[in-house]
Amino acid sequence: MGSKDDAPTWADQWGSGDNGSLKRAGGNGSSINAKADKKTVTGNVKAAASEGFIKAKAAALVGAQKVKSGTSSGIKWVKEQYQKRTSK
């Protein structure tokens, strides 16, 4: 069995955490990373919003088609009922 000193540390196993993802603005070049991260987040939010808009638009189109067909069939029914009464 190895000693405690031979075992890898948590940082060795999972990374030290200094990969630039947690850098704060205002350091050596870190503001560039922060801006790039912000643009990436903004791009992701815009993409998600765009997908949501596309889905909402498709749902609205389907709903509008249902309303249109329902209205059309309703008007036809009313016309038929009127013609039945006037033809007697």
Say if CB 31 and CB 41 are below 8 A apart: no
pLDDT at position 5 over 70: no
Query: Could you read off the pLDDT of 21-78 as tens digits, one per residue?
Result: 444 444 555 556 666 676 777 778 888 888 888 999 999 999 999 999 999 999 999 9
pLDDT of residue 60: 95
The maximal CA–CA distance of the chain, rounded, in angstroms, is 105
Distances 8 to 1, 16, 19, 52 between C-alpha atoms, Å: 14, 12, 19, 45
Name the residue among 54, 75, 51 with its Cα closest to residue 62: 54
C-alpha 46/C-alpha 40 separation (Å) is 10
pLDDT of residue 44: 83
**Which one has a higher pLDDT value, 63 or 16?**
63
SS3 69: helix
